[in-house]
């Protein structure tokens, strides 16, 4: 190797990339590639760890400045593809645990029937069936009841505290009488615990009606039970409709009398006067 003495008497390697392409190159410096941006230069540095620094130095000497960025870009794309391939590798799937369909004896609430044991059976079955939803847990437990216990449980589900307040505040509004009556029947039938007395039912039903002939008619009748005002309201609504229906029926137009041919001509007595005594 030949050396030249510089201003500071330091050895200088003459086999740099700035020489001819036929001169063997061992390494490459950043100042030898001023046409490369930093990401491209860093890509070439990573490429040198794969194929060797001498190969990258030789490639930089043999390729033109316009071709070298393409090599760096191709290596960057290859790296990104490898990263994406590693990211898309699926993790091993966990084995699926099958649910067990165990059977639970019904609890009817009879004397001597162990409630605690039944609760343990229900809890074990829910765990084995892998039921995690709270509403589904309640529905499954209720399905395992029988007898008076089942009647009590479903009776509690039907007891809605808002039904009583909904019936006491019931108003006809824009609904017709039939829809209003059906709503009143539904609310009353679902009030199981502490039912409303008949007088309150009648007063509430009459109070909720719109002001008009139907409300006035039922108020005059003032029935004793809720079963009576509903048919009366329907009947009172039906009567005006029937009256309007008959009033709107077109009446037949009387046809003029036609004189039969060949018969005697009737005498016109409209201008006749009564003759006085002579």
pLDDT in tens, the chain (278 residues): 443 444 444 343 434 444 444 445 567 777 777 888 888 888 888 888 888 888 888 887 888 888 888 888 888 888 888 888 887 765 566 667 677 778 888 888 888 888 888 888 888 888 888 888 888 888 888 888 888 888 877 776 666 677 888 888 989 888 888 888 888 888 887 777 778 888 898 889 889 988 888 888 888 877 788 787 777 777 766 555 544 544 455 556 666 555 556 656 666 666 666 655 55
Q: How far apart are the two ends of the chain, measured CA to CA in Å?
A: 181
End residue of a domain, out of 158, 191, 221: 158
Angle between helices 161-168 and 177-189 (to 10 degrees): 150
125 and 75 together in one domain: no
153 and 165 together in one domain: no
The pTM for the full model equals 0.34
32 falls within a domain: yes
261 falls within a domain: no
Query: Which of 207, 215, 168, 163 is closest to 186 using CA atoms?
Result: 163
Query: Which of 126, 241, 124 is closest to 176 using CA atoms?
Result: 241
Contact by Cβ (8 Å): 218, 209: yes
- Tell me the residue range of the domain where 146 lies: 115-158
166 and 221 together in one domain: yes
End residue of a domain, out of 45, 66, 84: 84
Residue with tokens 């590693």: 86
Number of domains forming the structure of the chain: 3
End residue of a domain, out of 127, 158, 189: 158
Taking the C-alpha atoms of residue 145 and residue 69, their distance in angstroms, rounded to an integer, is 78
57 falls within a domain: yes
């Amino acid at each position: 190797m030949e050396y030249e003495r510089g201003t500071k008497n330091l050895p200088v390697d003459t086999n740099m990339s700035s020489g001819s392409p036929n001169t063997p190159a061992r390494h490459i410096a950043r100042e030898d590639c001023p046409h490369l941006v930093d990401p491209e230069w860093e890509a070439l540095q990573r490429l040198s760890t794969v194929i060797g620094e001498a190969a990258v130095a030789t490639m930089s000497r043999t390729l033109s400045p316009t071709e070298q960025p393409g090599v760096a870009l191709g290596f960057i794309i290859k790296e990104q593809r490898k990263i994406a391939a590693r990211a898309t590798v699926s993790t091993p799937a966990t084995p699926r645990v099958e649910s067990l369909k165990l059977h639970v004896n019904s609890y009817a609430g009879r004397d001597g029937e162990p409630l605690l044991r039944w609760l343990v059976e229900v809890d074990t079955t829910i765990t084995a069936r892998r039921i995690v939803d709270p509403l589904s847990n309640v529905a499954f437990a209720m399905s395992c009841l029988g007898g008076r216990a089942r009647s009590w449980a479903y009776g509690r589900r039907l007891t809605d505290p808002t039904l009583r307040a909904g019936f006491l505040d019931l108003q006809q509004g824009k609904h017709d009488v039939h829809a209003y009556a059906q709503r009143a029947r539904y609310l009353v039938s679902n009030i199981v615990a502490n039912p409303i007395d008949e007088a309150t039912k009648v007063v509430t039903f009459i109070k909720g009606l719109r002001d008009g002939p139907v409300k006035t008619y039922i108020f005059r009748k003032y029935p004793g039970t809720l079963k009576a005002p509903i048919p009366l309201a329907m009947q009172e609504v039906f009567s005006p409709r029937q009256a309007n229906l008959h009033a709107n029926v077109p009446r037949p137009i009387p046809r003029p009398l036609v004189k039969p041919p060949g018969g005697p001509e009737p005498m016109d007595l409209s201008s006749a006067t009564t003759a006085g005594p002579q």
